[in-house]
Chains A and B, each alone.
Chain A
Amino acid sequence: MIKDITIGQYFPGKSLVHRLDPRIKILLTVLYIVMLFSASGFLGLGLGMIYLIIAFLISKIPIKMMLKSIKPIIPIIIFTGILNLFFVEGGTVLFSWWKLQITSEGLRTMVFMAVRIIFLICGTSLLTYTTSPITLTDAIERILSPLKAIKFPAHEIAMMMTIALRFIPTLVEETDKIMSAQKARGADLETGSVLQRAKALIPILIPLFVSAFRRAEDLALAMECRCYHGGDGRTRMRQLKAGVIDWVAVAVTVIFMAGIFVLNGLLPI
């Protein structure tokens, strides 16, 4: 059903990774991506993998969830894999047929790229699995806030993201309810031609829009009643504070990065 669509895919928990300062977590994710892209050989990637596995074990996210996050990108992996396999030249020719040939370098690149994409997705999913969307937008607002000096509406953008995220589940639930109600009245959503199916959406979309507008109005009113007037001078209930553990995490990450650079220099395979 429609509820199975996970957006934000937050997986609640109390692990160390969950508790890290979200700003630091974003920073670590960026460093991790840099790490992956600067690794020039499999040994470097291997170090990246060790980093990922450690973070993953600490976070206690079930392996099933991780695999689920890879599933949607499998077609991309296969597609780029095939391109790399046939069009990268160099090394010895392993196989050739008509105009196509597979070289050892092609094979290597294919595997290398595939592993890198998978690690990339796993690492970034770990961020969204362990950070609730609200905390994430909070962190983004804080990271972007220096840009306020050049009139960048950091607060407004974060508020819009927060509200949107807050209301996605509500709207999904609402859609579910309206769909059920119309199905109970015999609406047929599953069969028929494309045109018929598009028409069958009208009984769902109209009530949905009506209620979304009603909600938006109510929310705006409620916010104004509580004296919301933009971000100026607003204090926060949840203060973000980077502690010792956060800096330890940064230090560990930097060590891994250094390790990769060293490996690149010594054993660039």
Chain B
Amino acid sequence: MGILKTENLTHIYGEGTPFRKVALDNINLDIAEGEMVGIIGHTGSGKSTLIQHFNGLLKPTSGKVFVDGEELFADKHRLRDIRFKVGLVFQYPEYQLFEETVYKDISFGPKNMGLDDDEVDRRVKETARLVGLKPDVLKKSPFELSGGQKRRVAIAGVMAMEPKVLILDEPTAGLDPHGRDRILGLIKEYHQEKGNTVMLVSHSMEDVAKTVSKILVMGESNVIMYDTPEHVFAKAKELTDMGLTVPQITRVFVRLKEMGIDFPDEVYSVDYAKKLVLRLLEQKKG
């Protein structure tokens, strides 16, 4: 059993009212430890609903969720401890900042875990470095920072709890391309440095293709694919039929293939594409 697992997970909002909505329909997933998972799917497909089940913020209408082999909601008193294992960064997390200083805000989570002051201090400084916040920013009020900086403070606040699984809901929403790359970069760095499991929800295939080791594709309230990027992008046609985009480079290669050039199905990174083209040119020459 992997670090996160669901068994016939179903979630229905507003049961028994005219607003009833099946947000998750019988989801079975098993996510291995150390994986970097990208979740994609269009608006309203249930991505946010799914990830809120992994740390017990939402209770399944039916079905089970396991974290690290332990069933959620089996014992209510364990819920808070499990929440420390699964760190969840919400969409637009900067709206949850509240402390007087950045330092205090980042230390909110670790303090709630009951760590001693030295350990809290170590973690705050380390995560601040990891997300690229300079030491003098730590003394500032979070409300006087720029949007991108606020976002990094909020992410640091969860990272500082050193969860076994870090889940981020659209961490790059509303940022400019440069800010987007920086956030994705720091998440990747965190993953490499700690080797922890990371999940991130994203609307951008481009971003996902660059960062993750597995892709989870959500359709209308169910999981359509859970596989490596190669295998997922090999089904580029299926994805585009569903109204999802595939990376630009994949689209180019799908087109080239249609024109009769023999390329493999699953081109999704520019580096790989470059290699393929060069090899083809070599062959032509030789």
Q: Tell me if A156 is interfacial: C-beta within 8 Å of chain B.
A: no
A-B pairs with beta carbons under 8 Å apart, 21 shown = A180-B52, A180-B57, A181-B90, A181-B93, A183-B83, A184-B55, A184-B88, A184-B90, A184-B158, A185-B157, A186-B84, A186-B108, A186-B109, A186-B112, A187-B112, A188-B80, A188-B112, A202-B98, A206-B98, A207-B98, A210-B143
A15-62 residues with Cβ-Cβ distance < 8 A to B are none
Q: What separation, in Å, do the CA atoms of A207 and B95 have in the docked complex?
A: 6
Task: Evaluate whether A184 and B98 lie within 8 angstroms (CB atoms) in the complex, with A11-B18, A12-B18, A177-B90 already known.
Answer: no
**Is B108 within 8 A of A185, CB to CB?**
yes
B231-255 residues with Cβ-Cβ distance < 8 A to A are none
Residue of A nearest to B94 (CB): A207
A170 CB to closest chain B CB (Å) equals: 13
Q: What separation, in Å, do the CA atoms of A207 and B105 have in the docked complex?
A: 12
Q: Tell me if A203 is interfacial: C-beta within 8 Å of chain B.
A: yes
Mask, B87-103, CB within 8 Å of A = 1, is 11110010111100000
Residues of B within 8 A of A180 (CB): 52, 57, 90
Mask, B41-81, CB within 8 Å of A = 1, is 00000000000100101000000000000000000000010
Q: Tell me if B124 is interfacial: C-beta within 8 Å of chain A.
A: no
Q: Tell me if A118 is interfacial: C-beta within 8 Å of chain B.
A: no
Residue of A nearest to B143 (CB): A210
Residues of A within 8 A of B157 (CB): 185
Size bracket, chain A contacts: 10 to 19
8 Å CB contact of A178 from B52, B96, B112: B96
B3 CB to closest chain A CB (Å) equals: 17
The number of chain B residues with a CB under 8 A from chain A is 24
Residues of A within 8 A of B95 (CB): 177-178, 181, 207, 210-211
Residues of A within 8 A of B108 (CB): 185-187, 203
Q: Tell me if B224 is interfacial: C-beta within 8 Å of chain A.
A: no
Q: What separation, in Å, do the CA atoms of A101 and B83 have in the docked complex?
A: 60
8 Å CB contact of B113 from A184, A186, A210: A186
B55 CB to closest chain A CB (Å) equals: 6
Residues of B within 8 A of A186 (CB): 80, 83-84, 108-109, 112-113, 161
19 other contacts beyond A180-B57, A188-B80, A207-B98, with CB at 8 A cut-off?
Answer: A177-B95, A178-B95, A180-B52, A180-B90, A181-B95, A185-B157, A185-B158, A186-B83, A186-B84, A186-B113, A187-B112, A202-B98, A203-B96, A203-B98, A203-B108, A207-B96, A207-B97, A210-B95, A210-B143
Q: What separation, in Å, do the CA atoms of A59 and B169 have in the docked complex?
A: 42
- Tell which of B18, B89, B108, B112 has the most Cβ of chain A within 10 Å: B112
Q: Tell me if A182 is interfacial: C-beta within 8 Å of chain B.
A: yes
Task: Evaluate whether A182 and B96 lie within 8 angstroms (CB atoms) in the complex, with A11-B18, A188-B112, A203-B108 already known.
Answer: yes
Residues of B within 8 A of A12 (CB): 18
B residues bordering A, Cβ < 8 Å?
18, 52, 55, 57, 80, 83-84, 87-90, 93, 95-98, 108-109, 112-113, 143, 157-158, 161
B60 CB to closest chain A CB (Å) equals: 15
A116 CB to closest chain B CB (Å) equals: 30
Q: What separation, in Å, do the CA atoms of A182 and B109 have in the docked complex?
A: 8
Q: What separation, in Å, do the CA atoms of A202 and B96 have in the docked complex?
A: 11
Q: What separation, in Å, do the CA atoms of A185 and B127 have in the docked complex?
A: 15
Q: What separation, in Å, do the CA atoms of A223 and B113 have in the docked complex?
A: 45
A151-201 residues with Cβ-Cβ distance < 8 A to B are 177-178, 180-188
8 Å CB contact of A185 from B18, B52, B143, B161: B161
Q: What separation, in Å, do the CA atoms of A11 and B80 have in the docked complex?
A: 36
Q: What separation, in Å, do the CA atoms of A181 and B52 have in the docked complex?
A: 10
A191-240 residues with Cβ-Cβ distance < 8 A to B are 202-203, 206-207, 210-211
Residues of A within 8 A of B89 (CB): 184
Q: What separation, in Å, do the CA atoms of A190 and B96 have in the docked complex?
A: 19
Q: What separation, in Å, do the CA atoms of A134 and B52 have in the docked complex?
A: 32
The list of the 5 closest CB pairs from A to B, nearest first, reads: A186-B112, A206-B98, A185-B109, A181-B96, A184-B88
Q: What separation, in Å, do the CA atoms of A182 and B96 have in the docked complex?
A: 7
Q: What separation, in Å, do the CA atoms of A187 and B79 have in the docked complex?
A: 12
Residues of B within 8 A of A177 (CB): 90, 95
Residue of A nearest to B93 (CB): A181
Q: What separation, in Å, do the CA atoms of A181 and B92 have in the docked complex?
A: 10
**Is B97 within 8 A of A184, CB to CB?**
no
Q: What separation, in Å, do the CA atoms of A12 and B112 have in the docked complex?
A: 43
Residue of A nearest to B59 (CB): A1
Q: What separation, in Å, do the CA atoms of A195 and B95 have in the docked complex?
A: 25
**Is B83 within 8 A of A184, CB to CB?**
yes
- Tell which of B96, B98, B109 has the most Cβ of chain A within 10 Å: B96
B198 CB to closest chain A CB (Å) equals: 15
B153 CB to closest chain A CB (Å) equals: 12
Mask, A120-140, CB within 8 Å of B = 1, is 000000000000000000000
- Tell which of A181, A182, A206, A207 has the most Cβ of chain B within 10 Å: A181
